[in-house]
Amino acid sequence: MSKLAFIGLGVMGFPMAGHLVARGGHEVTVYNRSRAKAEAWVSKHGGRMAETPAKAAEGASIVFSCVGDDPDLREVTLGANGAFQKMAKGAIFVDHTTASAKLARELAAEAKKRGFEFLDAPVSGGQAGAENGQLTVMVGGDPAAFERAKPVISHFAKAVTLMGGSGAGQLTKMVNQICIAGLLQGLSEGLNFALKAGLDAKLALDVISKGAAQSWQMENRGKTMVDDKFDFGFAVDWMRKDLRICFETAKENGAQLPITQLVAGYYDDVSKTGGGRWDTSSLIRRLRRA
């Protein structure tokens, strides 16, 4: 049993931290900015809640975080009450936020200076993956720290892979989001075409999902797209944030992202019409309402 801390009990962090107790039997101290979620977590899982990220980190061998964007991650690590103020020497900070590779490298360098390790470890698998403990985790950072953290991360993951040095986890997550954006627009266009053509779109999905067009999105989102249901899943505004990070990185490495740029504009449209919290498969609404 280890002493652990978890910062950020949102849609993802709440169940992930829960698995550390339920599956790992670890002693977990949690911090959440709005206190009610931390109270709810402690009443469900036991453990302790801390008043600040720094207090949560005190004495922990591994500190996890899963917050929103770069500025949030910066605040819970380097801020006046940030976890980095109190990290123990030799401890590991594992960040599950989808954030920039640049910040991951900065935090890893800062952690090394202070005598502990930082791993960037964004996740894929969504809310259901977090709740079922079946996330895919892509990690960047020191190999020895990775080997120590991997069995603990595995309490909420089906796959945990070291992709390279600091930032490599975040870069891999960017690849994931680039692949999803274009695919979802294709799926939206196909399903909208099926509906306009008067086909039974769900039957069409059953048939083509057994062939070369098959994808996770088709299997898991196709039918809800036909039903025009989007009040679940991975929010459009999170995707817009993730794609912004991809474009900033592509500017540095010279990669062309023409389709992803187009789809990002479509996501801006969806957000402007009130869909910021809808699932990313809501791209089809733009087409159906056109």
CB 262, min distance to ligand NAP, A: 21
Distance CA 50, CA 39 (A): 10
175 C-beta neighbours (distance < 10 Å), count: 13
CB 22, min distance to ligand NAP, A: 18
| Selected binder of ligand NAP within 11, 208, 250, 287 (CB under 6 A) | 11
Cα 144–Cα 45–Cα 30 angle in degrees, nearest 5: 55
Which two three-digit tokens encode residue 73?
A: 């991650």
- Residue 173 a catalytic site member: yes
Nearer to ligand NAP, 30 or 194 (CB): 30
CB 115 within 8 A of CB 90: yes
- C-alpha torsion angle, residues 108, 24, 16, 144 (rounded to 10): 20
**Helix and strand totals (H; E) in the chain:** 13, 9
x-marked contacts with ligand NAP along 271-290 as a string, rule CB under 6 A: --------------------
| Residues 43-72 within binding reach of ligand NAP (CB under 6 A) | 66-68, 72
7 C-beta neighbours (distance < 10 Å), count: 31
Question: Rule CB under 6 A: is residue 81 a binding residue for ligand NAP?
Answer: no
| Selected binder of ligand NAP within 8, 18, 140, 222 (CB under 6 A) | 8
Which 3 state secondary structure label does DSSP give 120?
Answer: strand
| Selected binder of ligand NAP within 1, 34, 80, 253 (CB under 6 A) | 34
| Candidate segments 9-17, 180-188, 192-200, 248-256, binder of ligand NAP by CB under 6 A | 9-17
Q: Residues 173, 196, 210, 229: which is the catalytic one?
A: 173
Distance CA 258, CA 194 (A): 26
Could you list the active site residues?
Answer: 173
Residue ranges that bind ligand NAP, judged by CB under 6 A: 8-13, 32-34, 37, 66-68, 72, 75-76, 97-98, 123, 126-127, 234, 238
